[in-house]
């Protein structure tokens, strides 16, 4: 157990600075744009669109995908440490997937909190305002999470199929980025599959609330990530070490140590 926790932390250390930077930039930028858009006296759901929150979430997701896919590639201190551990490739892959999933869930959570808090602050100001040109009520934030596609996909309330879709998409993205990290690579080349999975998340976050057609889209966007996850897991070597780094590069690191 102690060993797993240590490995988890080593993996986390390789991304945490970049992760914090992405989350901070996302929250601060979105807050600024939301405040700017809210000067126009709009409905909550319209401010979310006017503030381009979905664009910044997409950019943050793509940036994080790149960070996760390349976190242990190259000759870093962390990758060298992992090579020296007596852990199977499968175990390392599982832990890397868990770290990546944690990072992705953090992004999701920070985005949700940023949007929700901004909406709640805006509503409380509108309810206290003397200007009643637009109707607002205690339900306005709740309704905004149904009216705005991005908000609804970010937090699908009681739509269970959409929760399933989101969770499988994030799990697939974590798996595919972990695969990119744990496979032998040359330089900092970003594998294609994690980017496709990130694009699937971005695309699915534009889906409308469950019309008849959209229910099938939810099912499709749930099944495809499951296939991705299974294909990665079925192709993992059962035994063997973590990453087979190029000998020259590894020896260089030892000298540096």
Partner 1 sequence: MKKNILIISLLTAVVLGSFTFAFASLLPQRDHVQFSETVLYGDPKAAEGLTLNYKNRFNGHLFWDTTWTIGTPAESAVTDYQFFARDYVESEIPDAGIEMKSISSHFDNLDGALEKAYEELTETAKPNEKNIRQISIADYYKYYPVSASIDLPGWHSFTIWSNGLSVDESFQDFFRIPVLPDDTMEVQVWVNGSGEISSRRASYGTDTLYSMDTESAFTDDTCYFTFTTRSRTGQYVDTSLIPGGFGIYALPYSQDDIQLNRISMVYPLDPKVQIVAMEVNSDDTSLFFFTYEEDGYYFTEIELDTMKTLQRLRINDPHILYGSMLHVADDYFAVCCIDYQGVTGYRIFSRGEDGKFKFDFLIPSPSDKEREFFNFYSEATFAYDGERAALTGTAVSTSHWSTAFTVAVYDETGMLYCGEYNTGQNCRESSHGQYDCVPVANELAYLSWQ
Binding site for partner 1 (CB under 8 A): 2, 5-6, 8-9, 12, 43, 45, 102, 105-106, 108-110, 112-113, 116, 120, 134-143, 145-147, 155, 157-161, 208-212, 215
Q: CA-to-CA distance for 70 and 57, rounded, in angstroms?
A: 20
CB of 123 to partner 1, least distance (A): 10
| Distance linking the first and last C-alpha atoms of the chain | 27
Using the minimum distance from each CB to partner 1, give the nearer residue, 19 or 172: 19
Q: How many residues does the chain have?
A: 257
CB of 68 to partner 1, least distance (A): 15
Using the minimum distance from each CB to partner 1, give the nearer residue, 167 or 236: 167
What contacts 123, CB < 8 A, 6 or more positions away? 44, 136, 140, 141
Using the minimum distance from each CB to partner 1, give the nearer residue, 138 or 186: 138
Residue 57: which H helix or E strand, with range? Answer: helix 53-70
Which bin fits 74, alpha (ψ -120 to 50), beta or left (φ > 0)? left
Using the minimum distance from each CB to partner 1, give the nearer residue, 63 or 107: 107
CB of 52 to partner 1, least distance (A): 18
CB of 195 to partner 1, least distance (A): 24
CB of 215 to partner 1, least distance (A): 5
Using the minimum distance from each CB to partner 1, give the nearer residue, 152 or 179: 152
Instruction: Kindly tell me the sign of the dihedral angle through the C-alpha atoms of 166, 142, 145, 21.
Output: negative
CB 87, CB 242: distance < 8 Å: yes
Q: CA-to-CA distance for 61 and 64, rounded, in angstroms?
A: 5
Read off the DSSP letter of residue 76.
-
Using the minimum distance from each CB to partner 1, give the nearer residue, 166 or 175: 166
CB of 43 to partner 1, least distance (A): 7
């Amino acid at each position: 157990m102690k060993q797993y926790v240590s490995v988890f932390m080593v993996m986390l250390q390789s991304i945490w600075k970049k992760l914090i930077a992405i989350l901070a930039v996302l929250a601060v930028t979105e807050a600024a744009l939301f405040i700017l858009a809210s000067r126009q006296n709009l409905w909550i759901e319209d401010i979310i669109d006017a503030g381009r929150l979905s664009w910044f979430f997409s950019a943050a997701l793509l940036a994080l995908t790149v960070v996760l896919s390349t976190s242990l590639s190259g000759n870093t201190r962390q990758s060298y440490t992992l090579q020296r551990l007596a852990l199977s490739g499968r175990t390392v892959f599982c832990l890397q997937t868990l770290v990546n999933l944690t990072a992705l869930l953090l992004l999701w959570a920070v985005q949700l909190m940023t949007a929700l808090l901004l909406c709640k602050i805006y509503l409380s100001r509108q309810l206290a305002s003397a200007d009643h040109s637009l109707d607002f009520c205690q339900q306005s934030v709740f309704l905004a999470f149904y009216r705005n596609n991005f908000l609804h996909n970010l937090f699908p309330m009681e739509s269970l199929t959409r929760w399933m879709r989101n969770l499988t998409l994030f799990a697939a993205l974590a798996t595919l980025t972990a695969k990119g990290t744990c496979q032998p690579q040359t330089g900092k080349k970003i594998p294609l599959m994690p980017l496709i999975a990130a694009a699937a998340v971005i695309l699915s976050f534009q889906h409308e609330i469950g019309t008849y057609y959209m229910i099938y889209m939810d099912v499709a966007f749930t099944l495809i990530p499951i296939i991705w996850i299974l294909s990665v897991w079925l192709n993992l070597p059962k035994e063997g070490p973590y990453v087979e780094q190029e000998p020259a590069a590894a020896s260089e690191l030892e000298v540096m140590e």
